[in-house]
A and B are shown apart, each in its own frame.
Chain A
Amino acid sequence: DTEVTQTPKHLVMGMTNKKSLKCEQHMGHRAMYWYKQKAKKPPELMFVYSYEKLSINESVPSRFSPECPNSSLLNLHLHALQPEDSALYLCASSQDPQGAQDYGYTFGSGTRLTVV
């Protein structure tokens, strides 16, 4: 299995809702990442988990809450989001935190989130 699987693919939520995004990989990668991509913009790093511990939080608002229950699974819990949080949320993984050696980063297909 050489994929990063993200669910759901599309999500529409109200500003008072609580929802979660899920990301899963079975490549034995020990680093997992959340990126946010607004329309016509490059991806921007949100969080990095290294060996299931949060190692980078790029000043992301607390309405986004990451969780890494095990080495294969990464969640992003969403609560009280704003319309400007609408974006494509990409999960990625790498073999290890130090830039993934020869294999780089593998990105999932993303969750397109719309906040209404």
Chain B
Amino acid sequence: ELKVEQNPLFLSMQEGKNYTIYCNYSTTSDRLYWYRQDPGKSLESLFVLLSNGAVKQEGRLMASLDTKARLSTLHITAAVHDLSATYFCAVDVGGSQGNLIFGKGTKLSVKP
């Protein structure tokens, strides 16, 4: 059974600080996605990582993928309050049917 584990599950940060969210998964996959979800809202796509060594950056967020270690990271640089949300990583099981398996999510709270 595929497992996708995120840590930490809860993260309280001060504005201006840096931190990393980790996403480990238990099966071979070279496609991993990061999503943001605000309370009561849908999923906003942040990053699509499609190969080993992929690194993508958007604003204060940077995501990377190491398929050999089965690890993806989401690094937050100089956090601001607007980044407060829940962040999910999701692994594409692949095959002919397409199927996303989500981690439990990391609830990020950025305080002034």
User: Is A12 an interface residue, CB under 8 A from the partner?
Assistant: no
- B contacts with A: majority SS: loop
How many chain A residues have a CB neighbour from B under 8 Å?
30
User: Is B102 an interface residue, CB under 8 A from the partner?
Assistant: yes
A50 contacts B102, CB within 8 Å? no
User: Is A99 an interface residue, CB under 8 A from the partner?
Assistant: yes
- Name the contact of A97 in the complex, choosing from B31, B35, B40, B96 (C-beta under 8 A): B96
User: Is B43 an interface residue, CB under 8 A from the partner?
Assistant: yes
- Residues of chain B within 8 A (CB-CB) of A33 are 98, 100
Q: How far is the CA of A96 from the CA of B54 in the complex (A)?
A: 22
How many Å from the CB of B45 to the closest CB on chain A? 6
Q: Indicate whether A108 sits within 8 Å of B42 (C-beta atoms), given known contacts A102-B48, A102-B50.
A: yes
User: Is A100 an interface residue, CB under 8 A from the partner?
Assistant: yes
B104 contacts A48, CB within 8 Å? no
A107 contacts B98, CB within 8 Å? no
User: Is A31 an interface residue, CB under 8 A from the partner?
Assistant: yes
A42 contacts B104, CB within 8 Å? yes
Q: Indicate whether A42 sits within 8 Å of B96 (C-beta atoms), given known contacts A102-B50, A105-B33.
A: no
Q: How many A-B contacts at CB < 8 Å in the complex?
A: 68
Q: Assign chain B's interface to a size class.
A: 20 to 34
User: Is A56 an interface residue, CB under 8 A from the partner?
Assistant: yes
- Residues of chain A within 8 A (CB-CB) of B48 are 102-104
B102 contacts A42, CB within 8 Å? yes
- Closest residue of B by beta carbon distance from A45: B99
User: Is A110 an interface residue, CB under 8 A from the partner?
Assistant: yes
User: Is B68 an interface residue, CB under 8 A from the partner?
Assistant: no
How many Å from the CB of B38 to the closest CB on chain A? 11
User: Is A74 an interface residue, CB under 8 A from the partner?
Assistant: no
B42 contacts A56, CB within 8 Å? no
User: Is A71 an interface residue, CB under 8 A from the partner?
Assistant: no
How many Å from the CB of A88 to the closest CB on chain B? 8
User: Is B112 an interface residue, CB under 8 A from the partner?
Assistant: no
- Residues of chain A within 8 A (CB-CB) of B92 are 99-100
List 10 A-B pairs, Cβ < 8 Å: A33-B100, A43-B43, A44-B102, A48-B99, A90-B42, A99-B94, A99-B98, A103-B48, A106-B45, A107-B43
